[in-house]
């Protein structure tokens, strides 16, 4: 059994990433899609922090993770506003029914 190292965190993050992608692709509800996105962001964050820990980059990785969190907060706020607007317009937040992009 090898010692816990960078690779373990990377594997966790990649699983998390794939689950996030899966959520984004499969769920109809916009909020669920958002949750998937949050998962993806978090998986990236894990990578950043892990590289900061095991790489020779100083604390920049952690700081980037911090920035990503801040961005995620901003993104969540905007996304929720969008979702509310979509709900008002289409009376649904099921993304598969919102396909005006097609026309």
Partner 1 sequence: MTESVLIKIALVTLFLPLIGFIVTLLFGKRIKWLYWFENSILIITFLLAFVLAYFKLAYFTDQTIISEFQWINLGNVPILKTFTIELGIMLDNITVLMIFVVTLVSLVVHLFSVDYMKGDKRYNRYFAYLGIFTFSMLGIVLTDNLLMIYIFWELVGISSYLLIGFWYEKKTASNAAKKAFLVNRIGDIGMFLGILILFTTYNTFSFDKIFYQVSIGNLPFGTELGLTIAGILLFCGAIGKSAQFPLHVWLPDAMEGPTPVSALIHAATMVAAGVYFMIRIFPILSGDALLVIATIGAISAFIPATIAVTQNDIKKVLAYSTISQLGYMIMAIGVGAYTFAFFHLITHAFFKAALFLGSGSVIHSMHHEQDMRKMGGLRKKMPLTYVTFLIASLALSGIPLTSGFLSKDGILAGTFAFGSLTGNWWFAASGFLVAFLTAFYMFRAIILTFHGKPKNKEKYEHAKESSFLMAMPLVVLSLLSLFFWYSLNPFNPEGGKLLSSWVKPPEISVPQNARYDFMKTETEKVNEANLTEEITYSPAYTNALRTAHYPTLFTSASLALLGILFAFLIYQWKFIDPDELANKFKPAYKLSFNKWYFDEIYYATFVAGTLALSRAIAFFDNKFVDGIVNGSAFVTVKLSAFTGKFDSIVVDGFVNMTAYLSGLTGLFFRRFQTGKVQSYLMFVIFSIIILLYIFK
Partner 2 sequence: MTVYDIIFYLFALITVGSAFFVVTLRNILHSAFFLLFALFGIAGLYVLLSADFIAVVQLVVYVGGILVVLIFGVMLTNKITHVQIKSGTLQIIPAAIGTLVLGFALIKIFLTTNWKTVQLSAESSSVQGLGILLVNQYSVVFELLGILLLIALIGAASMARR
Residues 31-50 that bind partner 1 (CB under 8 A): 33
DSSP designation for 59? T
Site for partner 2 in 16-55 (CB under 8 A): 16-23, 25-29, 31-32, 34-36, 38-39, 42, 45-46, 49-50, 52-55
* Minimum CB distance to partner 1 smaller for 76 or for 98: 98
Q: CA 103, CA 99: separation in Å to the nearest integer?
A: 8
CA distances from 31 to 1, 38, 88 (A): 40, 11, 15
* Minimum CB distance to partner 1 smaller for 3 or for 103: 103
Task: Tell me the β-bridge partners of 94.
Answer: 29
- Compute and round to an integer the Cα radius of gyration of the chain: 17
* Minimum CB distance to partner 1 smaller for 71 or for 97: 97
Is 26 one of the binding residues for partner 1 (CB under 8 A)? yes
């Amino acid at each position: 059994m090898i010692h816990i190292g960078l690779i373990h965190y990377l594997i966790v993050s990649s699983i998390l990433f794939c689950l996030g992608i899966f959520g984004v692709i499969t769920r109809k509800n916009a909020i669920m899609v958002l949750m998937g996105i949050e998962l993806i962001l978090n998986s990236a964050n894990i990578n950043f922090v892990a590289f900061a820990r095991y790489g020779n980059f100083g604390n920049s990785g952690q700081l980037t993770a911090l920035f990503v969190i801040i961005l995620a907060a901003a993104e969540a706020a905007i996304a929720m506003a969008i979702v509310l607007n979509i709900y008002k317009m289409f009376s649904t937040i099921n993304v598969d029914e919102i396909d005006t992009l097609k026309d």
